[in-house]
């Protein structure tokens, strides 16, 4: 994202927070700027690094607010690590996670939503939510077969 796109994205997030009744404080503004600087997902720790003026409690509280307002989403990596990413869209969606280049893309599927609701109902559950990520190699990353093994390590 270039500077202008980042500025616009920051304004979108700030408007969203304000609309939902959250205050856009200076530390929050700083965190929004910082999360937009990440090319892909980030950990909560990497958000507090180098921010002595923003306490860890503030970082966690803000993360919570960003998640609740749909500005940010949680992504579960293949090894179970939970990271965060700025949402393209605040609506309900899932993630495709590239295991090679760390690209994360959003997708949504009415078919999947219906199937998951059906699976819960079939077991007598009053479904309150679900999680779903798809792992694999994106179309920019060579497949295992075409890369010819691990000889040509990426730099």
Is residue 62 within 8 Å of residue 28, measured between CB atoms?
yes
For the CB of residue 50, give the shortest distance to Zn ion in the complex, in Å. 25
Least separation in angstroms between CB 41 and Zn ion: 9
Please report the sign of the dihedral spanned by the C-alpha atoms of residue 50, residue 90, residue 83, residue 105: negative
Our CB check for Zn ion shows the closer of 54 and 71 to be 71
Q: Whole-number minimum distance, CB 130 to Zn ion, in Å? A: 6
Binding residues for Zn ion (CB under 5 A) = 73, 87, 98, 100-101, 103, 106, 138, 141
Q: What is the dihedral of CA 111, 114, 117, 120, to 10 degrees?
A: -70
Residue with smaller CB distance to Zn ion, 27 or 90: 90
Are 70 and 90 spatial neighbours (Cβ–Cβ below 8 Å)?
Answer: yes
Q: Which is nearer to Zn ion, 55 or 119 (CB)?
A: 119
For the bound state, the minimum distance from the C-beta of residue 90 to Zn ion, rounded and expressed in Å, comes to 9
SS3 41: coil
Distance CA 29, CA 25 (A): 6
In the bound state with Zn ion, the residue whose beta carbon lies nearer, of 51 and 67, is: 67
């Amino acid at each position: 994202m270039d500077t202008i796109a980042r500025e616009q994205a920051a304004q979108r997030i700030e408007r969203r927070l304000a609309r939902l009744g959250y205050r856009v404080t200076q530390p929050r503004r700083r965190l929004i700027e910082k999360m937009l600087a990440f090319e892909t997902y980030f950990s909560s720790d990497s958000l507090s690094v180098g921010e002595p003026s923003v306490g860890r409690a503030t970082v966690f509280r803000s993360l919570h607010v960003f998640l609740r307002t749909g500005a940010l989403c949680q992504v579960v990596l293949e090894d179970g690590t939970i990271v965060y990413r700025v949402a393209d869209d605040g609506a309900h969606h899932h993630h495709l996670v590239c295991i090679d280049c760390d690209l994360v893309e959003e997708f949504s599927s009415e078919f999947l939503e219906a199937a998951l609701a059906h699976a819960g109902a079939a077991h007598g559950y009053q479904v309150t939510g679900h999680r779903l990520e798809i792992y694999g190699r994106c179309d920019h990353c060579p497949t295992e077969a075409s890369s010819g093994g691990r000889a040509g390590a990426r730099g």
